[in-house]
Structures are given as C-alpha cells and as structure tokens.
C-alpha cells in the first residue's frame, strides 16, 4: 500500500478520478458517459503527441516544433486532397506521417550532426515550418466543403461508442508502451537519457538515437496533422498554434523528467489526460477564460516542484563510518 502511494503514476490516476468526481458534483452533466467520451476524444491528439514528445524528453532534449510540424503536414495533405479528392484516405494519412517524419529528421540531423543545440534548432524549425504553411497555402484556409467525403468520414467512425481518434490514441499508447519498455531501442533511450557518459561506454551511438527520437516525434506530429485537420474539418495557418506547450506540460505533469531518463508511458498518458480533463472541465464548471490559463499554469508548476523534489539525488559518500 505504501509502495502504491509512493508511485507517481498511481497518485496521478487518483487525482484524475478525484477530479472527475469533484467536477461531477459541480456539474452532473459532465460525468455522463457521452461527455466523458468527448473528453477522451478531445484529449486523444494530446496523448499521441505527449507520448512522442516523451521519447525526445527522455534523451534530455525537447521538440518545440511539433505543433508547427503538425500544422504543415496537415496543410500539405489538405491542399493535395483538394486537387486529388479521389485518392484514398490512407494515402493522405501515410503521406502526412511521411512529411512529419521528414521534418523530424531535419531536426535530428541539425542537432546530432550539425550540433545546433536542440532548443535553438526546434525553436527555429517551429517558425520555419509555421512560415512554410503561409508559403504553400498563400495564407488561405481549406474549408470543410473543399475536403472529399472520405477524407473526413474516417474520423467520425465510432467503435464501442468510443471515437476513432481515441482508438488511435490507444493504439499509439500500446505501440509506445512496447517500444519503450520491451525493445532494445527503448531501453537504450532510457540509458542514454539517464547517463549519456555511461551510455557511451556501452556503445550506444548517441547521434543515431537523437535522429531516431526526433523522427518518431515527427512521425506522430505528421499523423496528428491528418487527425487534427480531419477532426476540425479545416486547415488554416493558425491550427495548433502554441500546442507544443500543452504537449510539453502534459509530459511534465506526467512525470517525464526534463533531466532525462525518467518517466513512464502510463504516467505520460495520465499527464495528458489530466491536462485534457482540466481544459474540458473548467469551462463546464463556469470558470472564466483567465482563470483557466492560471489554473493550468499552476498545475504545471506544482508538477515540476514535485518532480524536482523527488529527483534530488543523494550525496556521494566518501567516508566509511
């Protein structure tokens, strides 16, 4: 029991359940299954991006360009779909992933090979990718009537009364869980983030892992490019603007240490769910826009304080007493 209480993931889970109950008292409508299912749908993209961001944060880096990457991939396939509406939707999804991966690789190469610090690289590509959207779209939007029916239909498909979006999130959760906990690649990521110097001694090629981590981040940003555009039936220069900060918050709240090498897939997912819950619940209980931002910010700060408190490492012992 004590062990369970010390488990960060469990605490996070308890906070979410407690939060749902609390909100339920304030607004019974919110805890109806259909509303909760909407919350899950609304949080799905955040879960996917938080899990892929986690891969990058694990190796002591950050990918600030995810939202711009998402928007650019989404815009490119939207424009293409207006020209070739007859192409199957799977083609657009794969293409979006491919574009995202390519943009991710650019980040990785810049950091690993050109040695540009990750914060500078991804801050740069954040603007570049966003700027490219204006360039390719001429600043215009793609409206819902311009998309083909099949392009938008998939996203409204439901199974067991859960949306397609949430099923994708579940699939990504399972993939990430296997990747990070049950593959050599995943375990080496933890090793590299936990102690880069020691990772060198066991022959982990840091550059390769940096590029792969950013490719994964890019791949899922691309996937979310399609999901976002299809869900909101609109592609504009402004989509997902600033969303990278929400994603990083979800990771931090989920216990992914920005010092690298620490964090679980379950924790990260719960972090995204908590942020999603807050974003959806605060309007439901009539809290003003201003307070919503402040409360989100406070929760992130509290999470970071808890993280640093638990992370403080022990002094090296010199003396034998």
Partner 1 sequence: MKLELKKISKFFPGIKALQNVNFQLKENSIHALLGENGAGKSTLVKILCGVYQPDEGSIYIEKKQKNISNPATSLELGISAIHQESVMFDELSVMENIFIGNHIIKSNKLVDWSAMEKKTKELLGNLEADIKPDEKIKDLSIAQRHIVQISRSLVHDADIVIMDEPTASLSQKEIDELYSIIRNLKKNNKSIIFISHKLDEVLEVCDEFTVLRDGELIKTDLIANTNKDQLVTYMVGREINQIFPKKLVHIEDEIFNIKNFYKKTQFKNINFSLRKKEILGFYGLVGSGRSEVMKTIFGINKFDEGEINFNNKKITINKPKDAIKNGIVYLSEERQNLGMAGLMSVKDNINMAIMDKNSDYLILDKLKDLQNASELQEKLNIKVSYWSQLAQSLSGGNQQKTVIAKWLSTKPKILILDEPTKGIDVKSKSAVHEFMGELVDTGMSIIMISSELPEILGMCDRVVVMYKGLIKDILEVPNTSSEEIVKLASGE
Distances in whole angstroms, Cα of residue 191 to Cα of each of 41, 57, 64, 266: 34, 13, 23, 19
Gap between the Cα atoms of 252 and 306, Å rounded: 10
170-189 residues in contact with partner 1 (CB under 8 A) are 178, 181-184, 187-188
- Closest approach of partner 1 to the CB of residue 55, in Å: 16
313 binds partner 1 (CB under 8 A): yes
Gap between the Cα atoms of 59 and 321, Å rounded: 37
Both tokens of residue 27? 């607004």
204 binds partner 1 (CB under 8 A): yes
242-261 residues in contact with partner 1 (CB under 8 A) are 261
Nearer to partner 1, 149 or 321 (CB): 321
The residues, ordered by sequence, that sit 6+ positions from 48 with a Cβ below 8 Å of its Cβ are: 168, 169, 172, 220, 223, 224, 227
Q: Which of 16, 194, 279, 299 binds partner 1 (CB under 8 A)?
A: 194
- Closest approach of partner 1 to the CB of residue 316, in Å: 8
Q: Which of 3, 115, 145, 314 binds partner 1 (CB under 8 A)?
A: 314
The residues, ordered by sequence, that sit 6+ positions from 144 with a Cβ below 8 Å of its Cβ are: 152, 233, 234
- Closest approach of partner 1 to the CB of residue 60, in Å: 13
3 binds partner 1 (CB under 8 A): no
- Closest approach of partner 1 to the CB of residue 200, in Å: 6
Spatial CA neighbour of 27 closest among 279, 270, 282: 282
Number of residues that bind partner 1 (CB under 8 A): 30
Give the interface segment with partner 1, choosing from 76-84, 122-130, 284-292, 310-318 (CB under 8 A).
Answer: 310-318
Nearer to partner 1, 46 or 191 (CB): 191
Both tokens of residue 142? 């793609």
Torsional sign, CA 48, 193, 253, 298? negative
Site string for partner 1, 128-167 (x = CB under 8 A): ----------------------------------------
2 binds partner 1 (CB under 8 A): no
* CA angle (41 as vertex; 90, 274 as ends), nearest 5: 130
- Closest approach of partner 1 to the CB of residue 174, in Å: 13
Q: Which of 262, 265, 270, 281 binds partner 1 (CB under 8 A)?
A: 262
What is the chain's alpha carbon radius of gyration, rounded to the nearest angstrom? 20
The residues, ordered by sequence, that sit 6+ positions from 149 with a Cβ below 8 Å of its Cβ are: none
Where along the sequence are the contacts to partner 1 (CB under 8 A)?
Answer: 178, 181-184, 187-188, 190-191, 194-195, 197-198, 200-205, 261-262, 313-321
């Amino acid at each position: 029991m004590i062990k369970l209480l010390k488990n960060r993931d469990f605490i996070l889970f308890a906070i979410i359940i407690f939060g749902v109950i609390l909100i339920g008292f304030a607004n019974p409508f919110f805890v109806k299954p259909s509303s909760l299912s909407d919350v899950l749908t609304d949080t799905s993209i955040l879960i996917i991006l938080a899990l892929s961001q986690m891969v990058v944060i694990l190796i002591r880096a950050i990918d600030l360009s995810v939202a711009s990457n998402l928007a650019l991939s989404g815009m490119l396939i939207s424009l293409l779909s207006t020209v070739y509406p007859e192409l199957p939707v799977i083609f657009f999804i794969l293409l979006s992933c491919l574009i995202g991966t390519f943009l991710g690789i650019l980040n990785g190469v810049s950091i690993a090979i050109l040695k540009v610090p990750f914060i500078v690289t991804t801050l740069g590509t954040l603007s570049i990718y966003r700027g490219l959207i204006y360039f390719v779209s001429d600043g215009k939007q793609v409206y819902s009537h311009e998309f083909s029916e099949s392009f938008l239909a998939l996203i409204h498909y439901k199974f067991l009364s859960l949306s397609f979006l949430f099923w994708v999130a579940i699939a990504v959760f399972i993939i990430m869980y296997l990747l990070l906990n049950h593959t050599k690649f995943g375990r080496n990521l933890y090793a590299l983030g936990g102690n880069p110097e020691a990772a060198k001694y066991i022959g982990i090629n840091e550059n390769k892992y940096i590029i792969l981590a950013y490719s994964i981040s890019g791949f899922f940003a691309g996937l979310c490019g399609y999901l976002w555009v299809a869900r909101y039936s609109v592609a504009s220069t402004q989509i997902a603007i600033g969303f990278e900060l929400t994603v990083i918050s979800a990771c931090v709240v989920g216990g992914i240490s920005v010092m690298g090498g620490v964090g679980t897939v379950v924790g990260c997912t719960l972090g995204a769910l908590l942020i999603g819950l807050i974003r959806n619940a605060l309007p439901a209980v009539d809290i003003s826009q201003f307070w919503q931002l402040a409360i989100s910010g406070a929760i992130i700060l509290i999470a970071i304080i808890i993280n640093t408190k638990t992370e403080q490492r022990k002094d090296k012992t010199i003396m034998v007493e």
